[in-house]
Amino acid sequence: MANKPSIPKGTRDFGPVEMAKRNYIFNTIRSVYELYGFQQIETPAQETLQTLMGKYGEEGDKLLFKILNSGDYLSKIEDSELTERNTLRLASKICEKGLRYDLTVPFARYVVMHREELQLPFKRYQVQPVWRADRPQKGRYREFYQFDGDVVGSDSLLNEVELMQIVDTVFTRFGVRVQIKINNRKILTGIAEVIGAADKIVDITVAIDKLDKIGIDNVNAELREDGLTDEQIEKLQPIIMLEGTNEQKLETIAQVLASSETGLKGVEETRYILSFLTSLNNEIQLDLTLARGLSYYTGAIFEVKALDTPMGSISGGGRYDNLTGIFGMPGLSGVGISFGVDRIYDVLNALDLYPKDSLQTTQVLFINFGEKETAYCLPIIAKVRQAGIRAEIFPDSTKMKKQMSYANAKQIPFVVLAGDNEMAEGKVTLKNMETGEQTLVSPDELIAKLS
């Protein structure tokens, strides 16, 4: 007996119902991006490791899926290198490409390569799968879709404001209550400066970004392992645990960062952004523990969580002033957000928020009574489809019960029957599958009722 086929851990199949739900998500987000003037692009699934490595911090680099070179990839490897078993060194020689980890770094590469074709500021959206060699668990997959929107070529903080409005609009349309968290990497840099640990900014942000997952005691232990003194860790505590309104937090942190020019700049930027976002449908909160571990963020950072179901971040992003500089184009600022499509899918499932009409495929099924009846129905089906109504005819002239069962299984709301009597009158019988009501109608009346 052949082994039962399987798929890799951390990946999923999606059938017709799932795809209908996912397309509802894609279409909703796409329509909002386009309202704000964003245009769609795509980039390859694989990028060179030169493009990917070093852009996500040390932890991110470990999660890259690397692709073996084609052909005899061991031909230039010495036996001594194999027995040494230095994985990183071997990978650098037998792998030149990797699967993209996110859509932002490939986008930065795209901007640099296509700079002469772009009108700045350039506003793009992109929906494609990404891959991370993470440990699969609930809400965390090794292959998942992101839906990104970025603006490059503008330093204006109005871009941050509009991105937060996009987030608010998207989740309002989904009917999902969310909390939007905002912080600024300049504030975090300022905190590192005033506690005397400016060289530890990456360690500090990586550690406090885990606060929700591992708790304050474990965060402090990690900071201690990273070389911070007990005095420096003690100075961090009131900042990490800061409470109050957004304005109260900003006033307090401004006092703490009075000696840090960078930190005060972050406070000023955050205050500006928040001043335009008072009318959002969803809650926005300044959270100084938000760090977003990716090392390329330099200004405002965002994260979104659903309020009514347990789930990790379902959207996030921030400003990255220096990202294109690593590809030879310094000084081009950008800011972006990413929607986690797979997690949004799980949230909408958990809260049962898919509109009924978004899950329907075929609207009407024509029953197949035989060749003569099919020949009569086909021109009518063509007119129905031309009117934008999703229609199909059962392909086989089989028992009525089987055809009706097919309609019920696919939750098709209407069926059309055309026998000798209907053909004699130039009409069809329209049956409502929910109520059982049957109506004799002309083709034009059929279209009007289904529309």
Binding residues: 102-104, 132, 146, 150, 292, 296-297
Which residues carry a binding-site annotation for L-histidine? 102-104, 132, 146, 150, 292, 296-297
How far is it, in rounded angstroms, from Cα 243 to Cα 252? Answer: 10
Tokens representing residue 408 in the block: 């019920």
User: Across-strand partners of 178?
Assistant: 306
How far is it, in rounded angstroms, from Cα 220 to Cα 236? Answer: 9
Alpha carbons within 13 A on the beta-carbon side of 371: 0
Tokens representing residue 210 in the block: 């885990």
223 in Cβ contact with 204 (< 8 Å):
yes
Report the relative pairing of strands 391-393 and 364-366 from DSSP bridges: parallel
